[in-house]
Amino acid sequence: MAFMPPFGPQGGPQQAPSSPPPSAVPPRPLTTTFAVDPGAIAGCLFRFTYIWPRGGPSFWFYPTFVGRTSVSGFRWTGFMWVFSGFDLRRVESFTCF
């Protein structure tokens, strides 16, 4: 069976970035939130984004879809991009480039 890429809201296939994320970890924002507003993280669509989650290690992310309560896209494993998604309530802070 051939690999089928995830599909975006318009039905077209979502593409992982063709390069790794920046090598430097950005400084953590001073503010934290109870839950991330979907409109705020929507400004990071298709941009390298650094996520600081609640109760877990921080990571590079490349969001391709933002829903009312969740975000999906590609997470950097340190070697490659892997499609993933998570609840916006799990995001303590983020920054994008």
Task: Please check whether residue 28 lies inside any domain of the structure.
Answer: no
Spell out the residues 6+ positions from residue 79 whose beta carbon is closer than 8 angstroms to its own: none
How many domains does the chain fold into? 1
Please give the C-alpha separations between residue 61 and each of 1, 53, 82, in angstroms, as whole numbers: 27, 11, 9
pLDDT tens digits, 31-74 = 766 678 899 999 999 999 999 999 899 999 999 999 999 999 99
- How confident is residue 11, by pLDDT bands cut at 50, 70 and 90? very low
Q: What pLDDT shows up at residue 3?
A: 41
Task: Please check whether residue 73 lies inside any domain of the structure.
Answer: yes
Domain boundaries, position 85: 38-96
- How confident is residue 75, by pLDDT bands cut at 50, 70 and 90? very high
In this prediction the pTM is 0.84
What CATH number corresponds to the domain at position 54?
Answer: 2.30.30
* Angle made by CA atoms 13, 38, 22, in degrees to the nearest 5: 65
